[in-house]
Structure 1
Amino acid sequence: MAENEQAAAPEQAAAPRMQIATQFIRDMSFENIVAQKGIQGDVQPDIQVQVNLDAKKREAENTYEVIAKFSIHSKNKTDGSSLFMMELEYGGVFIIEGVPEAQMHPYLLIECPRMLFPYVRRIVSDVTRDGGFPPLNLENIDFVGLYRQELTRRAQAEKENATVS
């Protein structure tokens, strides 16, 4: 009877498995505007961080590339003058198995950036420190929220395009 129960039991899907094959900086720039122009008076930094994500399938089986693009702009709260700007495109190549195709898109844009983020945080901290500012320790990013926000934005854009046509 045990054999029949095992044969009748549905096959359990393999647990998702992710391996980071490599990580890399695709592009990076840091501009210290304070050093170029000099700033007088009280400085109260206001930091704005924008994040964009991109993912694509690579030729090798189960291999994907994810790029996280960070644009960081620090302005002085008192007069709105720029203090520094940093742009960073950080990528990872992932080998992913056991994720159903229907769930691959959110997996790539949520789980993969979550794995890359500690390295991005360290790079941003080191570059801002080496650029003459206190090290900027980025707060955790809600990649699920970012993904949902992008889905909402796309749905709204499609709705607007449908009404225009």
Structure 2
Amino acid sequence: MAEVITNGQANGQSSQPQLVLQKIYVKDVSFEAPNAPQVFQEIGENDTQQPQVQLNLGQRATELGNDLYEVVLSLTLTCTLGERTAYLAEVQQAGLFGIAGFSELDHAGIIGSYCPNLLFPYARQVISSLVLEGGFPPFLLQPINFDALFAEQQRRMAEGGNEAPVLNS
């Protein structure tokens, strides 16, 4: 008797987990230097006041159907000098991922940790280029441990925290 094959798998057999990166792209980018050119003079004249840099990080995932997900990593870097903003650099680095056949926990880990880890170097390069091309000294973001961030989010959710889920459908 012949075995019937459907969509590349034999009847009665489960499909193998699949993770496919289809595309990486910049979804949105912005750079502002609201106090230029005066801020350039302040940076050169006032060496006692160090610029303060703050990074805000976010991510979201959207299910597009057919096991396809858009994952967006958002980075906002704000540099201030005293009370004045020197620059604000923002990027939304996105990727399209085909994710199928994983357990619910593994699926959440892929969306919450693996995908952001993959997108971060691209976002870091965009931020670095924006800052440098904006006329400011080079800035390199340090690596981020998305595995630890995801584990902390899972721990808070298990404790009944009001954290939003990793996946927004």
Normalised-by-shorter TM-score class: 0.7 to 0.9
Quote the residue 1:162 is aligned against.
none
Quote the residue 2:73 is aligned against.
68
Quote the residue 1:163 is aligned against.
none
What is the alpha-carbon distance in structure 1 between the residues aligned to residue 64 and residue 14 of structure 2? 27
What is the alpha-carbon distance in structure 1 between the residues aligned to residue 53 and residue 95 of structure 2? 26
1:30 positional shift: 0.7
Quote the residue 2:105 is aligned against.
102
Q: 1:13 to 1:58 in 2, by over 3 A?
A: closer
What is the alpha-carbon distance in structure 2 between the residues aligned to residue 129 and residue 23 of structure 1? 23
Quote the residue 2:10 is aligned against.
none
* Residue 115 of structure 1 pairs with residue 118 of structure 2: yes
Quote the residue 1:4 is aligned against.
none
* Residue 157 of structure 1 pairs with residue 158 of structure 2: no
Provide the aligned length of Structure 1 versus Structure 2: 144
Which is richer in helix? Answer: 1
* Residue 148 of structure 1 pairs with residue 151 of structure 2: yes
1:123 positional shift: 0.8
* Residue 28 of structure 1 pairs with residue 25 of structure 2: no
Q: More deviation in 100-109 or 115-124?
A: 100-109
How big is each residue's C-alpha offset from its partner over 1:101-137, in whole Å with a ceiling of 9 and x where there is no partner?
3321221110011111111111111111111112221
SS of corresponding position for 1:52:
strand
What is the alpha-carbon distance in structure 2 between the residues aligned to residue 118 and residue 46 of structure 1? 22
Q: CA RMSD in A?
A: 2.4
Quote the residue 1:6 is aligned against.
none
Quote the residue 1:45 is aligned against.
51
4+ long deviations beyond 6 Å: none
Any gaps of 5 or more consecutive residues in structure 1? 1-10, 159-165
1:20 positional shift: 1.6
How big is each residue's C-alpha offset from its partner over 1:59-102, in whole Å with a ceiling of 9 and x where there is no partner?
2x2211101111111122xx343211112111110112342233
Amino acid at match of 1:119: Y
* Residue 130 of structure 1 pairs with residue 136 of structure 2: no
1:18 positional shift: 2.4
